[in-house]
Amino acid sequence: MGSQTTDLERSILKTVLWFSLFSHPLTVFEIWKWLMQPARPHDLCEVQSILERSAWLKEKLQSFDGFWSVKREASISSLVQTRQERFLDAERKFKRLRRAARYFQLLPGVRAVAAVNSLAWWGTTENSDIDLYVVTKPGLIWSSRFWLVLPFALFKARPGQEQTGRDPFCFSFFSTQASLQLEELCFPRDYYLAFWVKSLVPLLDRDSSFSEFHRVNRWASQLLPNARGRIPDHRHIPRFCPRVPVQSRLVESVFRSFQRRRLPVHLRDLANQDSRVVVNDEMLKFHDQDRRVEFRDRFEALTAQHLC
């Protein structure tokens, strides 16, 4: 393989293989943007040229209507159609999220909110949650979570609640502005978290919190050097509205005590054992179904199969 293929060909194939885990075909620009671990910088024209010329890649990949995927049983036309359907579902979710962001803006302790996971890729289905990452002021993480979750819990718009309709809101990841560095959460060869860092979609961003977020998470650029942090879309930015003075550090301990007592037993058992569930005054992360290791192992099995 070494003398017959170039670094760029292997990087392109690894990139398409990663997204094949999620049945997500890519455009040429997306392949360039999410190019995984190239040995040197490559521009978009180089990527397009080698996709057109490489006999080795033509054996591995298929294309349709401007999209590329790995050759396999599923036809690329059906993958493209599925991606288009998921895009429309995500657009509908974003409309709901933009309305909710008006409420997020009321809370002075909430400094930034972003859509993450499948919603950040515009790749949701009707059964997908609206997954959010929330940045708060130091010392106000527990009260911020309480006031954010409360109305959605009352209206049964949270995952797992009875009578929950479509698009439940999942508030499962909070950190303060003092704890934006996420490298300490990484598992060995944690591809998923690097993509997660680079893909989040800002809905609210006070104090340039996400500029700082990307500055302190430069480690993700080692895997994805062409990917830049997304800037807020003007459609996603809520208009200014008065802030409600319902938060104070003086009563933060009350919100902490109340929510700690209400944590499900399985989350208490997993808390702070590793990076799946983190519970402290700087970070609240409730990912008990964390699949990062599974995605890593499946991806590495695919690369071993296709790059041998």
Q: How far apart are CA 61 and CA 55, in angstroms?
A: 10
Q: Is the pLDDT of residue 164 over 60?
A: no
| Mean per-residue pLDDT, 150-164 | 82
Q: Is the pLDDT of residue 223 over 60?
A: yes
- The strand pairing partners of 63, in sequence order, are 68
Q: Is the pLDDT of residue 239 over 90?
A: no
Q: How far apart are CA 136 and CA 143, in angstroms?
A: 10
Q: How far apart are CA 101 and CA 95, in angstroms?
A: 10
Which class does domain 7-74 fall in? mainly alpha
Q: Which residue has the tokens 């398409």?
A: 16
β-pairing verdict for 110-115 and 130-136? antiparallel
Average pLDDT for the chain:
92
Checking phi first, is residue 252 left (phi over 0); if not, alpha (psi -120 to 50) or beta? alpha
What pLDDT is attached to residue 236?
55
What pLDDT is attached to residue 2?
46
Q: Is the pLDDT of residue 70 over 90?
A: yes
- In angstroms, how far apart are the furthest CA atoms of the chain? 66
What pLDDT is attached to residue 52?
95
| Mean per-residue pLDDT, 124-144 | 96
Q: Is the pLDDT of residue 238 over 90?
A: no
Q: Is the pLDDT of residue 1 over 60?
A: no
pLDDT above 90 as % of the chain: 85
Question: Which residues does 80 contact at the CB level (< 8 Å), separation at least 6?
Answer: 25, 64, 65, 67
| Mean per-residue pLDDT, 106-126 | 96
Tokens standing for residue 83: 């991606």
What pLDDT is attached to residue 177?
98
- Better-predicted residue by pLDDT, 242 or 111: 111
pTM of the model as a whole:
0.93
Tokens standing for residue 133: 């990452």
pLDDT tier at 123, thresholds 50, 70, 90: very high
Question: Where are the CATH 1.10.10 domain residues in the chain?
Answer: 7-74
Summarised one tens digit per residue, pLDDT across range 247-289 is: 888 899 999 999 999 999 999 999 999 999 999 999 999 999 9
| Mean per-residue pLDDT, 15-40 | 97
**3-state SS track over 24-89:** CCECHHHHHHCCCCCCCCCCHHHHHHHHHHCHHHHHHEEEECCEEEECCCCCHHHHHHHHHHHHHH
| Mean per-residue pLDDT, 187-204 | 97
Q: Which of 130-139, 185-194, 235-244 has the lowest mean pLDDT?
A: 235-244
Tokens standing for residue 160: 């797992």
What pLDDT is attached to residue 292?
97
